[in-house]
Amino acid sequence: MSVTAAEGFVASGMHAGVKRRRYDMAMIATDDGRPVTAVAVFTQNKYFAPPVGVSRKRLADNGGQAAAIIVNSGNANAGTGAKGYADAEAMCDATAKALGIASSDVLVCSTGIIGLPMPMDKILDATPKLAKKLSADGSEDAAKGILTTDHVPKEAVVKGSTFTLGGIAKGCGMIAPNMATMLAFLTTDADVSRDEMQAILRDAANRTFNTLNVDGATSTNDTVFLLANGRRGKPDMAEFADAVHKVCEDLTWQMARDAEGMTKMVTLRVTGAASDAEARIAAKNIAENNLVKCSWYGSDPYWGRLLGAAGSAGVEFDPDLTSVAYGGIVVSKAGTGFDHDEAAVAEYMKNEKIDIEVALGLGTGSAQVIGIDLGPGYIKENSKTS
Protein backbone atom coordinates (compact mmCIF):
# COMPACT_ATOMS: atom_id res chain seq x y z
CA MET A 1 0.00 0.00 0.00
CA SER A 2 1.11 3.57 -0.61
CA VAL A 3 -1.52 6.26 -1.13
CA THR A 4 -3.85 4.21 1.11
CA ALA A 5 -1.23 3.34 3.72
CA ALA A 6 -2.38 6.17 5.97
CA GLU A 7 -5.49 5.43 8.01
CA GLY A 8 -8.73 6.62 6.44
CA PHE A 9 -7.96 6.66 2.70
CA VAL A 10 -9.15 4.42 -0.13
CA ALA A 11 -8.29 4.25 -3.83
CA SER A 12 -9.05 2.46 -7.07
CA GLY A 13 -7.97 2.26 -10.69
CA MET A 14 -9.25 0.68 -13.88
CA HIS A 15 -9.25 0.61 -17.67
CA ALA A 16 -11.98 2.93 -18.92
CA GLY A 17 -11.12 2.95 -22.62
CA VAL A 18 -9.32 6.29 -22.83
CA LYS A 19 -6.25 4.24 -23.75
CA ARG A 20 -6.36 1.02 -25.73
CA ARG A 21 -5.41 -1.49 -23.08
CA ARG A 22 -3.70 -0.07 -19.99
CA TYR A 23 -5.37 1.29 -16.87
CA ASP A 24 -6.32 4.91 -17.54
CA MET A 25 -8.38 6.18 -14.59
CA ALA A 26 -7.90 6.41 -10.84
CA MET A 27 -9.78 7.66 -7.80
CA ILE A 28 -8.53 8.52 -4.32
CA ALA A 29 -10.96 9.34 -1.51
CA THR A 30 -11.54 9.51 2.22
CA ASP A 31 -13.16 6.33 3.50
CA ASP A 32 -16.05 8.20 5.15
CA GLY A 33 -16.68 10.83 2.46
CA ARG A 34 -15.70 13.69 4.73
CA PRO A 35 -13.46 16.45 3.37
CA VAL A 36 -9.99 16.77 4.87
CA THR A 37 -7.21 19.35 4.71
CA ALA A 38 -5.76 19.56 1.22
CA VAL A 39 -2.87 21.54 -0.27
CA ALA A 40 -1.30 21.56 -3.71
CA VAL A 41 1.54 22.75 -5.87
CA PHE A 42 0.69 23.32 -9.53
CA THR A 43 2.53 23.81 -12.79
CA GLN A 44 4.02 27.25 -13.42
CA ASN A 45 3.21 26.92 -17.12
CA LYS A 46 0.85 29.75 -18.09
CA TYR A 47 -0.64 27.43 -20.71
CA PHE A 48 -2.17 25.27 -18.00
CA ALA A 49 -4.85 22.66 -18.56
CA PRO A 50 -8.48 23.12 -17.41
CA PRO A 51 -8.17 20.51 -14.62
CA VAL A 52 -5.40 22.65 -13.09
CA GLY A 53 -7.60 25.72 -13.24
CA VAL A 54 -10.59 23.88 -11.78
CA SER A 55 -8.66 22.30 -8.90
CA ARG A 56 -6.79 25.51 -8.11
CA LYS A 57 -10.07 27.45 -7.87
CA ARG A 58 -11.77 24.81 -5.75
CA LEU A 59 -9.01 24.80 -3.16
CA ALA A 60 -9.10 28.60 -3.06
CA ASP A 61 -12.89 28.71 -2.74
CA ASN A 62 -13.38 25.96 -0.13
CA GLY A 63 -10.52 26.95 2.17
CA GLY A 64 -8.26 24.03 1.22
CA GLN A 65 -10.13 20.78 1.59
CA ALA A 66 -11.01 17.69 -0.45
CA ALA A 67 -12.82 14.39 -0.04
CA ALA A 68 -11.86 12.84 -3.38
CA ILE A 69 -9.57 13.13 -6.39
CA ILE A 70 -10.55 11.88 -9.85
CA VAL A 71 -7.81 11.32 -12.43
CA ASN A 72 -7.64 10.18 -16.03
CA SER A 73 -4.61 9.42 -18.17
CA GLY A 74 -4.30 9.19 -21.95
CA ASN A 75 -5.82 12.64 -22.52
CA ALA A 76 -4.50 15.81 -20.88
CA ASN A 77 -7.68 17.86 -21.35
CA ALA A 78 -5.31 20.67 -22.33
CA GLY A 79 -5.77 23.07 -25.20
CA THR A 80 -9.47 22.30 -25.01
CA GLY A 81 -10.92 25.72 -24.13
CA ALA A 82 -14.27 26.22 -22.43
CA LYS A 83 -15.34 22.66 -23.26
CA GLY A 84 -12.31 21.39 -21.35
CA TYR A 85 -13.35 23.31 -18.24
CA ALA A 86 -16.88 21.94 -18.54
CA ASP A 87 -15.49 18.42 -18.87
CA ALA A 88 -13.26 18.83 -15.80
CA GLU A 89 -16.24 20.09 -13.81
CA ALA A 90 -18.32 17.16 -15.11
CA MET A 91 -15.69 14.72 -13.84
CA CYS A 92 -15.96 16.31 -10.39
CA ASP A 93 -19.76 16.24 -10.48
CA ALA A 94 -19.84 12.58 -11.51
CA THR A 95 -17.42 11.65 -8.74
CA ALA A 96 -19.45 13.57 -6.17
CA LYS A 97 -22.65 11.86 -7.28
CA ALA A 98 -21.05 8.41 -7.14
CA LEU A 99 -19.70 9.03 -3.63
CA GLY A 100 -22.59 11.07 -2.22
CA ILE A 101 -20.39 14.07 -1.42
CA ALA A 102 -20.27 17.73 -2.41
CA SER A 103 -18.83 18.41 -5.86
CA SER A 104 -16.90 21.35 -4.39
CA ASP A 105 -14.85 18.81 -2.38
CA VAL A 106 -13.64 16.92 -5.47
CA LEU A 107 -10.33 17.68 -7.18
CA VAL A 108 -9.51 16.64 -10.74
CA CYS A 109 -6.38 15.85 -12.76
CA SER A 110 -5.78 14.73 -16.33
CA THR A 111 -2.60 13.69 -18.13
CA GLY A 112 -1.77 12.56 -21.64
CA ILE A 113 -2.03 13.99 -25.15
CA ILE A 114 -2.66 17.75 -25.52
CA GLY A 115 -5.35 19.19 -27.77
CA LEU A 116 -7.76 16.28 -28.13
CA PRO A 117 -11.41 16.31 -27.00
CA MET A 118 -12.04 14.29 -23.87
CA PRO A 119 -13.85 10.95 -24.35
CA MET A 120 -16.37 11.93 -21.72
CA ASP A 121 -18.77 9.06 -22.40
CA LYS A 122 -16.08 6.57 -21.38
CA ILE A 123 -14.90 8.66 -18.42
CA LEU A 124 -18.38 9.26 -17.02
CA ASP A 125 -19.31 5.60 -17.49
CA ALA A 126 -16.22 4.49 -15.56
CA THR A 127 -16.54 6.96 -12.66
CA PRO A 128 -19.23 5.11 -10.66
CA LYS A 129 -17.34 1.85 -11.27
CA LEU A 130 -14.23 3.43 -9.76
CA ALA A 131 -16.27 4.51 -6.77
CA LYS A 132 -17.52 0.96 -6.21
CA LYS A 133 -13.95 -0.39 -6.44
CA LEU A 134 -12.55 1.95 -3.77
CA SER A 135 -10.68 0.08 -1.06
CA ALA A 136 -7.72 0.32 1.27
CA ASP A 137 -5.98 -2.17 -1.04
CA GLY A 138 -6.53 -0.08 -4.17
CA SER A 139 -3.33 1.96 -4.17
CA GLU A 140 -1.51 -0.18 -6.76
CA ASP A 141 -4.45 0.02 -9.17
CA ALA A 142 -4.59 3.78 -8.68
CA ALA A 143 -0.84 4.04 -9.31
CA LYS A 144 -1.34 2.19 -12.61
CA GLY A 145 -4.33 4.30 -13.59
CA ILE A 146 -2.38 7.59 -13.65
CA LEU A 147 0.48 6.43 -15.92
CA THR A 148 1.10 7.69 -19.45
CA THR A 149 4.39 6.68 -21.09
CA ASP A 150 5.70 5.39 -17.76
CA HIS A 151 6.90 1.81 -17.75
CA VAL A 152 6.16 1.09 -14.08
CA PRO A 153 3.95 2.52 -11.31
CA LYS A 154 5.62 4.67 -8.67
CA GLU A 155 4.73 4.34 -4.98
CA ALA A 156 6.36 5.34 -1.70
CA VAL A 157 5.56 5.14 2.03
CA VAL A 158 7.11 6.51 5.22
CA LYS A 159 5.87 5.31 8.60
CA GLY A 160 6.54 7.94 11.24
CA SER A 161 6.45 7.46 14.99
CA THR A 162 2.85 8.73 15.20
CA PHE A 163 1.68 8.92 11.57
CA THR A 164 1.91 7.36 8.12
CA LEU A 165 2.51 9.17 4.84
CA GLY A 166 2.21 7.56 1.43
CA GLY A 167 2.01 8.58 -2.18
CA ILE A 168 1.92 7.68 -5.85
CA ALA A 169 3.28 9.56 -8.85
CA LYS A 170 3.58 9.47 -12.61
CA GLY A 171 6.13 11.08 -14.87
CA CYS A 172 8.96 10.10 -17.15
CA GLY A 173 8.94 12.79 -19.84
CA MET A 174 8.05 16.48 -20.28
CA ILE A 175 9.82 17.08 -16.98
CA ALA A 176 11.72 20.21 -15.97
CA PRO A 177 12.45 21.85 -12.61
CA ASN A 178 9.57 24.32 -12.70
CA MET A 179 7.02 22.64 -10.39
CA ALA A 180 5.56 20.19 -10.33
CA THR A 181 7.09 18.16 -13.15
CA MET A 182 4.45 15.41 -12.99
CA LEU A 183 1.36 14.23 -11.11
CA ALA A 184 1.71 13.09 -7.50
CA PHE A 185 -0.85 12.30 -4.82
CA LEU A 186 0.13 12.10 -1.15
CA THR A 187 -2.00 11.24 1.89
CA THR A 188 -1.37 11.21 5.62
CA ASP A 189 -3.26 10.57 8.85
CA ALA A 190 -1.32 13.31 10.65
CA ASP A 191 -3.07 16.44 11.92
CA VAL A 192 -1.36 19.38 10.21
CA SER A 193 -2.75 22.82 9.50
CA ARG A 194 -3.24 23.97 5.94
CA ASP A 195 -0.59 26.70 6.16
CA GLU A 196 2.01 24.42 7.75
CA MET A 197 1.36 21.67 5.24
CA GLN A 198 1.48 24.04 2.27
CA ALA A 199 4.88 25.34 3.34
CA ILE A 200 6.21 21.81 3.92
CA LEU A 201 4.95 20.54 0.56
CA ARG A 202 6.38 23.49 -1.34
CA ASP A 203 9.76 23.11 0.36
CA ALA A 204 9.82 19.36 -0.32
CA ALA A 205 8.84 19.91 -3.95
CA ASN A 206 11.60 22.48 -4.42
CA ARG A 207 14.18 20.09 -2.97
CA THR A 208 13.02 17.01 -4.91
CA PHE A 209 10.57 17.25 -7.81
CA ASN A 210 12.01 20.62 -8.83
CA THR A 211 15.51 19.20 -9.12
CA LEU A 212 14.53 16.67 -11.80
CA ASN A 213 15.19 17.72 -15.38
CA VAL A 214 14.48 15.07 -18.02
CA ASP A 215 14.01 17.27 -21.08
CA GLY A 216 13.51 20.89 -20.06
CA ALA A 217 9.79 20.75 -20.87
CA THR A 218 7.26 21.97 -18.30
CA SER A 219 3.92 20.20 -18.58
CA THR A 220 0.54 21.89 -18.84
CA ASN A 221 -0.95 19.61 -16.17
CA ASP A 222 1.66 19.26 -13.40
CA THR A 223 0.04 18.87 -10.00
CA VAL A 224 0.92 17.57 -6.54
CA PHE A 225 -1.80 17.11 -3.92
CA LEU A 226 -1.28 16.35 -0.22
CA LEU A 227 -4.31 15.37 1.88
CA ALA A 228 -4.29 15.06 5.69
CA ASN A 229 -7.19 13.73 7.75
CA GLY A 230 -5.68 14.23 11.22
CA ARG A 231 -6.88 10.88 12.57
CA ARG A 232 -3.68 10.15 14.48
CA GLY A 233 -3.17 13.59 15.97
CA LYS A 234 -0.46 16.20 15.83
CA PRO A 235 2.93 14.90 14.67
CA ASP A 236 6.37 16.14 15.52
CA MET A 237 6.58 18.76 12.78
CA ALA A 238 10.26 18.23 12.02
CA GLU A 239 9.65 14.50 11.63
CA PHE A 240 6.61 15.14 9.44
CA ALA A 241 8.47 17.57 7.19
CA ASP A 242 11.27 15.04 6.83
CA ALA A 243 8.76 12.34 5.90
CA VAL A 244 7.19 14.50 3.18
CA HIS A 245 10.68 15.17 1.82
CA LYS A 246 11.57 11.47 1.88
CA VAL A 247 8.41 10.40 0.03
CA CYS A 248 8.88 13.12 -2.59
CA GLU A 249 12.57 12.23 -2.95
CA ASP A 250 11.76 8.54 -3.37
CA LEU A 251 9.17 9.31 -6.06
CA THR A 252 11.57 11.71 -7.80
CA TRP A 253 14.25 9.04 -8.17
CA GLN A 254 11.66 6.54 -9.38
CA MET A 255 10.67 9.02 -12.10
CA ALA A 256 14.30 9.59 -13.03
CA ARG A 257 14.90 5.86 -13.33
CA ASP A 258 11.82 5.52 -15.55
CA ALA A 259 12.61 8.56 -17.72
CA GLU A 260 11.95 8.10 -21.42
CA GLY A 261 15.00 6.46 -22.99
CA MET A 262 17.09 6.83 -19.81
CA THR A 263 20.43 5.04 -19.52
CA LYS A 264 22.16 7.54 -17.18
CA MET A 265 20.95 9.51 -14.16
CA VAL A 266 23.21 12.43 -13.28
CA THR A 267 23.31 14.32 -10.00
CA LEU A 268 24.69 17.64 -11.21
CA ARG A 269 25.89 20.16 -8.63
CA VAL A 270 26.87 23.72 -9.47
CA THR A 271 28.89 25.27 -6.64
CA GLY A 272 30.73 28.51 -6.11
CA ALA A 273 28.20 30.61 -8.01
CA ALA A 274 27.57 34.28 -7.24
CA SER A 275 24.22 33.25 -5.68
CA ASP A 276 21.95 30.24 -5.29
CA ALA A 277 19.67 31.69 -7.96
CA GLU A 278 22.52 31.92 -10.45
CA ALA A 279 23.62 28.38 -9.56
CA ARG A 280 20.11 27.12 -10.35
CA ILE A 281 20.12 28.90 -13.71
CA ALA A 282 23.51 27.44 -14.62
CA ALA A 283 22.57 23.93 -13.49
CA LYS A 284 19.34 24.03 -15.49
CA ASN A 285 21.20 25.26 -18.59
CA ILE A 286 23.73 22.44 -18.31
CA ALA A 287 21.17 19.68 -17.64
CA GLU A 288 19.01 20.74 -20.59
CA ASN A 289 21.88 21.07 -23.08
CA ASN A 290 21.48 18.38 -25.73
CA LEU A 291 25.22 18.13 -26.38
CA VAL A 292 25.83 17.55 -22.68
CA LYS A 293 23.03 14.97 -22.51
CA CYS A 294 24.39 13.14 -25.55
CA SER A 295 27.84 12.98 -23.95
CA TRP A 296 26.24 11.39 -20.89
CA TYR A 297 24.57 8.81 -23.11
CA GLY A 298 27.95 8.05 -24.66
CA SER A 299 29.65 7.82 -21.23
CA ASP A 300 31.96 10.63 -22.40
CA PRO A 301 33.32 12.92 -19.63
CA TYR A 302 33.26 15.89 -21.99
CA TRP A 303 33.86 18.71 -19.49
CA GLY A 304 34.07 21.34 -22.25
CA ARG A 305 30.38 20.95 -22.98
CA LEU A 306 29.54 21.49 -19.31
CA LEU A 307 31.53 24.73 -19.15
CA GLY A 308 30.14 25.86 -22.49
CA ALA A 309 26.61 25.44 -21.16
CA ALA A 310 27.46 27.19 -17.88
CA GLY A 311 29.15 30.05 -19.71
CA SER A 312 26.10 30.62 -21.92
CA ALA A 313 23.60 30.61 -19.04
CA GLY A 314 23.66 34.39 -18.56
CA VAL A 315 25.14 34.21 -15.07
CA GLU A 316 28.41 35.57 -13.69
CA PHE A 317 31.20 33.38 -15.07
CA ASP A 318 35.00 33.45 -15.14
CA PRO A 319 36.59 30.41 -16.82
CA ASP A 320 39.88 30.94 -14.97
CA LEU A 321 38.12 30.20 -11.67
CA THR A 322 36.25 27.07 -12.74
CA SER A 323 36.78 23.37 -12.15
CA VAL A 324 34.87 20.24 -13.19
CA ALA A 325 34.83 16.85 -11.46
CA TYR A 326 33.23 13.51 -12.36
CA GLY A 327 32.71 11.28 -9.34
CA GLY A 328 35.07 13.47 -7.34
CA ILE A 329 37.86 13.19 -9.93
CA VAL A 330 38.83 16.66 -11.19
CA VAL A 331 39.14 16.69 -14.99
CA SER A 332 39.28 20.45 -15.65
CA LYS A 333 40.67 23.50 -13.90
CA ALA A 334 40.79 27.14 -14.98
CA GLY A 335 38.77 26.35 -18.09
CA THR A 336 41.27 23.82 -19.45
CA GLY A 337 41.99 20.15 -19.09
CA PHE A 338 43.53 18.89 -15.85
CA ASP A 339 45.78 15.83 -15.58
CA HIS A 340 43.82 12.93 -14.11
CA ASP A 341 43.37 9.16 -14.16
CA GLU A 342 41.48 8.77 -17.42
CA ALA A 343 40.93 5.04 -16.93
CA ALA A 344 39.29 5.65 -13.55
CA VAL A 345 36.96 8.28 -15.02
CA ALA A 346 36.08 6.04 -17.96
CA GLU A 347 35.22 3.22 -15.57
CA TYR A 348 33.15 5.58 -13.43
CA MET A 349 31.17 6.77 -16.46
CA LYS A 350 29.85 3.23 -16.98
CA ASN A 351 27.64 3.62 -13.90
CA GLU A 352 23.92 4.25 -14.22
CA LYS A 353 24.12 7.01 -11.58
CA ILE A 354 26.81 9.67 -12.02
CA ASP A 355 27.80 12.62 -9.82
CA ILE A 356 29.20 15.74 -11.51
CA GLU A 357 30.32 19.00 -9.94
CA VAL A 358 30.84 22.22 -11.86
CA ALA A 359 32.55 24.71 -9.54
CA LEU A 360 32.44 28.37 -10.64
CA GLY A 361 34.77 29.75 -7.96
CA LEU A 362 32.88 33.03 -7.56
CA GLY A 363 30.95 32.79 -4.29
CA THR A 364 28.90 30.54 -2.08
CA GLY A 365 25.88 29.93 -4.31
CA SER A 366 24.99 26.32 -5.06
CA ALA A 367 22.25 24.23 -6.66
CA GLN A 368 21.59 20.62 -7.57
CA VAL A 369 19.56 19.04 -10.34
CA ILE A 370 18.98 15.47 -11.45
CA GLY A 371 19.67 15.21 -15.17
CA ILE A 372 19.00 12.45 -17.67
CA ASP A 373 20.95 11.48 -20.76
CA LEU A 374 19.59 11.80 -24.30
CA GLY A 375 19.61 8.78 -26.58
CA PRO A 376 17.55 7.01 -29.25
CA GLY A 377 14.98 5.78 -26.70
CA TYR A 378 13.78 9.29 -25.90
CA ILE A 379 13.49 10.28 -29.55
CA LYS A 380 11.65 7.06 -30.42
CA GLU A 381 9.12 7.59 -27.62
CA ASN A 382 8.41 11.24 -28.35
CA SER A 383 8.20 10.91 -32.13
CA LYS A 384 5.09 8.79 -31.81
CA THR A 385 3.13 10.16 -28.84
CA SER A 386 1.01 12.47 -31.01
Return the active site residues: 181
Phi, psi of 49, rounded to the nearest 5 degrees: -80, 155
The SS3 assignment for 206 reads helix
Q: Answer left, alpha or beta for residue 142, where phi above 0 means left and psi between -120 and 50 means alpha.
A: alpha
184's CB contacts (< 8 A; 6+ apart) are 167, 168, 169, 170, 171, 209, 223, 224, 225, 248, 251
Contact between 356 and 324 under an 8 Å Cβ cutoff? The reply is yes
Distance CA 78, CA 91 (A): 15
For every residue of 277-289, DSSP letters joined together read HHHHHHHHHHHT-
**How far lies 91's CA from each of 127, 185, 209, in Å?**
8, 18, 27
Distance CA 83, CA 244 (A): 36
Q: Give the chain's largest Cα–Cα span.
A: 70
The SS3 assignment for 332 reads strand
